[in-house]
Amino acid sequence: MKPAHRIFNVVGARPQIIKSAALSRALREHYGGLMEEVMVHSGQHYDKKMSDVFFDEMGIPRPDHHLHVGSGTHGRQTGEMMRGMEDLILSENPRLVLVYGDTNTTLATALASAKLKVPVAHVEAGLRSYNKSMPEEINRVLCDHVSTLLFTPTRQAEINLAREGIVHSGEEPFDMDHPAVVHTGDVMFDNALYYGREGKGNSRVIDRLDIRDKPYVLVTLHRDMNTDDPGRLQAIMGTLLKLAEDEKITVVIPLHPRTRKMMAEFRMGKSMDSSQWFRITDPVSYLEMIALEKNARLIMTDSGGVQKEAHFFRKACIVFRKETEWVELVSHGTARLVDASPEKIREAWELFRNQKNLDFPPFYGEGNAASLIAGTILRFLEREKST
């Protein structure tokens, strides 16, 4: 029997662990025996509720290797990850390295692999905010430029890559200079369909938060531009508190550890803790999050993933950013950019509060992105071997 092609499936931050579930499933179910998946965790996120919970709940194989890098400044964190990843690639000799999204884990892994001439496959390639003050924008642009296989979740992503001269090469075998750009749709849509099926959800969270039969707005907030600037953080949280009290609507916030830390540092949160309308809780599991999303009146967030999940579960979305990579949601009119402006948050709330009959077109593929990605990877590895 031919030995299986060894590939690294690299995660580190919460959304990557979640995305990897779709790939891991496709690799096991369709390509078991042909590709050997080696799960690698950088350690960027390490709290149980930011990491372990997803492995357990989503049936993701436990990491074969863990770099335990933890938190730090960008340079330190990225540098530590590169060191660890380089050693691991040299000792484990994978044929390809699979990375997700736009975090420091993505960048460090892509750079370490590319310089060792191990092909990088980038899931969620081509997204752009055109705002390089976001660390994520730097990470995703650099990762795309050293990737060999670029998997785009949207048509806009393909257009963005073409603007930077990254187009599908007709020449095989593909390499960094002659990459493959393949439109697959979004693995998060695969996940939403798979885990969102009736019976899989965890609706106990609804009772735990005492929100059954109560209208509520679901909020997440974690971008450094919002959390690390006390003016913006106060503007958003203060507006939410006022809105909740005025409109008598519950606001549910599973709080990211970064936001919790900054609220403590800025001494915010007392009035929120004492408001009967606020439910601030620790980060929730993916199945709990899905249950919260499905039952929310509407969703407010600065998260990339949560913007799309609002769409998957047919909810209007108010986005605490000036721009978004998911431009189709805004141009379609079911998401609205409000920055950190109290007036814009109010306006968007008025617009969406009672709006029914919104439509949510299938912008993100057919729910088979992960198997398209896995199939493309296998063809690439087979072809590379034969040349």
CB of 284 to ligand UDP, least distance (A): 4
Residue among 137 and 190 whose Cβ is closer to ligand UD1: 137
Residues 22-41 touching ligand UD1, rule: CB under 6 A, are: none
Q: SS3 letters for 111-129?
A: HHHHHCCCCEEEECCCCCC
Rounded to an integer, what distance in angstroms lies between the CA atom of residue 325 and that of residue 304? 8
| H/E element, 286 | helix 286-295
Regarding 284 and contact with ligand UDP (CB under 6 A), the answer is yes
Among 145, 168, 214, 261, binds ligand UD1 (CB under 6 A): 261
Q: Is 222 a catalytic residue?
A: yes
Q: Which does 45 bind (CB under 5 to 8 A by kind): ligand UDP, ligand UD1, none?
A: ligand UD1
CA 65 – CA 75 distance, rounded (Å):
22
Binding window for ligand UDP (CB under 6 A); candidates: 55-63, 87-95, 112-120, 299-307: 299-307
Nearest distance from C-beta of residue 168 to ligand UD1, angstroms: 27
Q: Summarize the chain as % helix, strand, coil (round to 5).
A: 45, 15, 40
| Minimum CB–partner distance for residue 51 and ligand UDP (Å) | 11
The Cβ of residue 56 has, within 10 Å, a number of other Cβ atoms equal to: 11
Minimum CB distance to ligand UD1 smaller for 14 or for 311: 14
Burial 330-353 (b: 16+ CB within 10 A, else e): beeebbbbbbbbeebbeebbeebe
How far is it, in rounded angstroms, from Cα 386 to Cα 22? 28
Under the binding rule (CB under 6 A), the answer on residue 344 touching ligand UD1 is no
- The answer, yes or no, to whether the previous bond of 362 is cis (omega within 30 of 0) is no
Among residues 311, 374, 262, 323, the alpha carbon closest in space to that of 7 is found at 374
- Which range in 27-35, 98-106, 144-152, 359-367 contacts ligand UD1 by CB under 6 A? 98-106
Q: Which residues pair with 22 in a beta bridge?
A: none
Strand partners, 216: 250
Active-site position among 222, 256, 311, 332 = 222
14 scored as a contact of ligand UDP (CB under 6 A): yes
Q: Smallest gap, in angstroms, from Cβ of residue 222 to ligand UD1?
A: 5
Determine, following the binding rule CB under 6 A, whether residue 289 of this chain makes contact with ligand UDP: yes
| 327 contact choice in ligand UDP, ligand UD1, none (CB below 5 to 8 Å, kind-dependent) | none
Cβ(234)–Cβ(242) below 8 Å: no
Tell which positions 130-159 bind ligand UD1, by CB under 6 A.
Answer: 135-136
For the CB of residue 256, give the shortest distance to ligand UDP in the complex, in Å: 6
Residues forming contacts to ligand UD1 in the complex (CB under 6 A) are: 13-15, 44-47, 50, 71, 102-104, 135-136, 222, 257-258, 261
Residues forming contacts to ligand UDP in the complex (CB under 6 A) are: 14-15, 18, 220, 222, 254, 283-284, 286, 289, 303-306, 309
